[in-house]
Amino acid sequence: MKFLLEVDLDSTGWDEGTAVQELERILRYWGGNLRHCEMAPGDGQALYDSGHREVGRWTVTSE
């Protein structure tokens, strides 16, 4: 299995400083929240920035 966390930085419009802050926030939130999620192939959820815009997704694959 693989756990993939992908954030599309090209579509966010963040500058370099904002990108670092948003990625830190996303990693902190999901790092603490994963214990409440299923971890089987096909599972995943959208990722949102602090402005509640979808910026990526995490997924679990069988590969």
Query: What are the residue ranges spanned by the domains of the chain?
Result: 2-61
Question: What pLDDT does 12 receive?
Answer: 87
Model confidence band, residue 54 (pLDDT cutoffs 50, 70, 90):
very high
Pairing, β 44-48 against β 2-7? unpaired
Mean predicted confidence (pLDDT) in 10-27: 91
User: For the whole model, what pTM was predicted?
Assistant: 0.82
Q: What is the DSSP string of 9-47?
A: GGGT---HHHHHHHHHHHHHHHHHHGGGS--STT-EEEE
Mean predicted confidence (pLDDT) in 10-14: 87
